[in-house]
Chains A and B, each alone.
Chain A
Amino acid sequence: MSKLALTLTINGERHEVHTEPHRTLLDVLRVDLGLTGTKENCLEAECGVCTVLLDGHAVNSCILLAAQCAGRNVLTIEGLARDGVLDPLQQAFIDHGAVQCGYCIPGMILSAKAFLEERPAATEAEVREALAGNLCRCTGYQKIADAVVNAARATAAQR
């Protein structure tokens, strides 16, 4: 089986990747590029821990072939903070006690990020709907919803 030569843009950086066609974006991120901020669990698009942004939209990287992502922009949790400054969402998650074990958090933050870009003035109900594809077993979602709603307000206030 021949390998594919792929150019992937991850967090603004171009990576030349040689990999078998069946390997997923998640495989390439975690194993080939050592970016373990994106997590693995069910591998069936049921839990959302593998969520990254593909051209600004939240996707499950566990069921996307790396090949499908060539020429597109991938944002992982490692790419969210800028020059050491946390994204307001990241700060909000800290401030509102939304982090417990933390394993769902990278995917959760990225889903929220994509959603708030599209819908800056989101209600709690809308936030919950947007995060329905991200399972959390620790928090019961409440402080996560609070963090996202508050981050949205804070960002809106700055605009």
Chain B
Amino acid sequence: MAARTMRVVGKSLPRIDAPGKVTGTAVYAADFALPGMLVGKVFRSTEPHARIVRLDVTRARSLPGVRAVVTAADVPDVRYGGGLKDETVFAKGKVRYIGQPVAAVAATTPEAAQAALAAIEVVYEPLAAVLDLEAALAPGAPLVHEEWASYTAIPILHRDGNVCNRARIVVGDVDRGWEEADRIFEHRFRTGMVHQGYTEPRAAVAQWDSSGTVTVWSNTQLPFEVQNTLAEIFQMPPSKIRVVVPGIGGGFGGKLRVGVEHFAVLLARKTGRAVKVVTTSQEELTAAYPRQGAVVELKTGVTNDGRIVAKEGRIWFDTGAFAGSGPGVASVATLVLAGPYRIPNLRLEGFAVYTNKTNCGSYRAPSGPQSNFAVESQMDIIADALGIDPLEFRLKNIVRDGDEGPTGQVLGAVGLEECLRNAAAAIGWNERRPETWRGKGLACGWWTTTGGSSGVYVKINPDGTVALNTGAAEIGTGALTGAAQVLAEELTVDLADVSVVSADTFSTPFDFGAQGSRTAFAVGNACRAAVADLKQRIFALAAAQLSVEVEACVLAEKHVVADGKRVSLAELARMSQMTGGGLIAQGTFIAPPTAYDSKRVEGHVYPAFHSPSFHAHAVDLSVDPGTGDVTIHRYVVAQDVGFAMNPTYIEGQIEGGVAQGLGQALSEEIVYEGGRVLNANLTDYKMPTTLDMPRVETILVEHPSLAGPYGAKGVGEPPNIEPPAAVANAVAAATGLRVTVLPITAERIALGLLGDVRADGG
């Protein structure tokens, strides 16, 4: 990448959608309304595992204001899903978790809809339920899906009974590794189920038109995927389904797949009216797509001087009653379990397991925190046992440029050492003094920039402004502002000249979706491709207009300049509109595939990390031994972002990601008992408030990627990954207590210090 002075990209410019958001004029899906719209609500199972003996909606249908009540009988008999098609719109014959949709109603008022729900009569015959991983994996366990073998699934998945995927990485020979090791360490860890906690509930409004097309306004992060899923469910062509995203109040992966869109579509078809469905807090905490709880067993062999020679790991994800993102999560986990370390012998397995709980999905760095918590906690345990500084132990084993990743991908732009040293220096790692009840902890990791394709249209308007038309949705990260900065940079206009139209399956180009830290990366690159195309047209026009050679043309300050003459982009756009249909171009981008060794993997749907990022977190905290309360004094993140497209919005991603990570580390958990969520409300699902969050100090490290715009890498997910391990390590340093269960609550610490409770993963 040639060094140059950037005008727009790389600057902390204010995001383009901020004015609408601070004035309350930005419209979110939850705000969207149409005239005559009905209210839709969902009737849900109250049993974790049961046969539906009787379901009678006649009384509900007859209530005043009720316009439709629908059940499985009203939808085609279709199983849908990602790589594994096991989901149905409504339970049919059997319910598999408390909260599973059984029916839906549409009525003129919320009260009438609520009354309709209350009037639905259902009789269940309870079946033996599998309520946790151990129960699901026990020999002879009841099957959550008796017909699992008949489900359509991508062939690569390894499925068996309650295991809906097993992904595996094998490198070298771990048994030889154990012989070579001087010390072998085995530990078990457990993490809880946590919710993305977006402040805007999932919402959709659907309306059919006279041509048999349905339009759905939704806060999905993946409008094109939702379009396809709806097409699959309702057995219609995707072109008859239009998904539009007005605005999203946070997603974090919880709004990837259909949440309520299918109910809205079905009820709108039944009633002939627009129907809006919005989830409640209780539905979010019982029937959404939270992060899987997990159990990790990790066995690591090291030499006495601190070299890692072998690692064997197994992680089981409690993915709930339907596979959701489980199979993919189980795959990605194996790469996180390997860690950013040079390890010649590896045997790592990830399992996605069915239980009778809500089906889990993707949450910012899916599998990341659970796996990293285990890996980085054990790294500290080993360092302590060997008498080696935890920083030095990591530095001794981390990967460097040119090394292989666990599946054989060649790693470049590895900024990990710089991240570790910077984070450690910032937290005062070498100034640690023994101090009662106060300690510092480190954790590091690596992550991917998800691939998939993105297309954009770019148009130059006759007034010189630029329209960016992208299929990506803005979920709040500022990624579309970043892409607009790339566009403005390349066209030599200002950010204020760019306006964005996004996320409409009818009128915007395909985008793989706002997921996996890919949006600024992919859309930014698509913009560069569009500009390349646009330049050809612009220069051809300018050359004719100025009587110069095309080769002499350059863009500068919103003009084409050549041989001392110039013409504005605005003028060229005007001319083009009159004679050539306007200045518009298309750009597409798909990340080049990352080469890896396919012999090392099995059942794996994510065998390499693309344009990987590297990161290190450091925390300085105190523990109150009388209560177990943790007070964080300082929190530092050093993250290799490749190239900082907009430092302020990247800091924002890091600060927010750490907040979610600290929530998972210290206070958040969806608590199940007997298949029922005990804390399905925001009083008892404890997300951090302003008073719980420390300031986060961010250090942006730049080791440019080959594929990203200006060398950028994905930035959104990584900050979620390391907080639990960093906190666990600091708590251990402060108290001598090693907590191997998340969340590390004050209770766990206080009782653990008394030896009262097993703080380990047992």
B19 within 8 A of A: yes
Cβ of B714 to closest chain A Cβ, rounded Å? 16
**A138 contacts B250, C-beta separation under 8 Å:** yes
Contact with A41, one of B201, B651, B658 (Cβ below 8 angstroms): B201
A147-B290 Cα distance, complex, nearest whole Å: 31
Q: How far apart sit A139 and B658, CA to CA, in the bound complex (Å)? A: 9
Q: Which of B25, B26, B655 contacts A139 (CB 8 A)?
A: B655
B113-145 contact mask (Cβ, 8 Å, vs A): 1 or 0: 000000000000000000000000000000000
Complex: A34 Cα to B31 Cα, angstroms: 9
Residue of B nearest to A40 (CB): B30
Contact partners of B211 in chain A: CB under 8 A: none
A90/B23 in contact, CB under 8 A: yes
> Any chain B CB within 8 A of the CB of A5?
no
In the complex, the answer to whether A137 meets B197 with C-beta atoms within 8 Å is yes
Name the interface size band of chain A.
35 or more
What is the CB-to-nearest-CB distance from A13 to chain B, in angstroms, rounded to a whole number?
15
Q: Does A102 sit at the interface, judged by CB under 8 A?
A: yes
Q: Which residues of B contact A140 (CB under 8 A)?
A: 652, 655-659, 688, 693, 696
B689 within 8 A of A: yes
Q: How far is the CB of A127 from chain B (nearest CB, A)?
A: 8
Query: In whole angstroms, what is the CA distance A143 to B26 when docked?
Result: 20
Whether B682 pairs with A44 at a CB distance below 8 angstroms is: yes
- Place the interface of chain B in its size category: 35 or more
**How far is B687's CA from A104's CA once the two chains are assembled, in angstroms?**
14
**B199 touching A47, Cβ below 8 Å:** yes
Q: Are A44 and B689 in contact (CB under 8 A)?
A: no
Complex formed: what's the CA distance from A95 to B30 in Å?
27
B281 close to A (CB within 8 Å):
yes
Interface of A is mostly: loop
Q: Provide the bound-state CA to CA distance between A47 and B693, in Å.
A: 16
**Which of A94, A129, A133, A138 is close to B656, meaning CB atoms less than 8 Å apart?**
A138
Give min CB distance, A53 to chain B, whole Å: 13
CB-defined contacts of B248 to chain A, threshold 8 Å:
101
Cα A31 to Cα B655 in complex, Å, equals 34
B691 within 8 A of A: yes
| Closest Cβ–Cβ distance, residue A27 to chain B (whole Å) | 9
Closest partner residue, chain B, to A136 (CB atom): B199
Contact check, B696 vs A142: say whether CB atoms are below 8 A apart: yes
Known: A30-B31, A39-B200. A99 touches B687 (CB 8 A): no
Q: Are B682 and A139 in contact (CB under 8 A)?
A: no
Q: Is A76 a contact of B24 with CB atoms below 8 Å?
A: yes
- B689 cross-chain contacts in A, Cβ below 8 A: 132-133, 135
A135 contact set on B, CB distance < 8 A? 197, 199, 682, 687, 689
Instruction: Find B690's partner among A46, A47, A49, A131 (CB 8 Å cutoff).
Output: A131
Show 18 A/B contacts (Cβ-Cβ < 8 Å), sorted by A. A39-B199, A44-B281, A90-B23, A100-B652, A101-B198, A103-B198, A103-B199, A105-B21, A129-B690, A132-B689, A136-B656, A137-B660, A140-B657, A140-B688, A141-B693, A142-B655, A142-B696, A143-B648
Top 9 A-B pairs, shortest CB-CB distance: A37-B24, A101-B476, A103-B249, A102-B21, A77-B24, A140-B659, A140-B655, A46-B682, A36-B31
Other contacts beyond A76-B24, A132-B691: 11, CB < 8 A: A41-B201, A42-B682, A49-B199, A49-B200, A97-B648, A99-B17, A99-B18, A103-B199, A103-B200, A135-B687, A143-B652
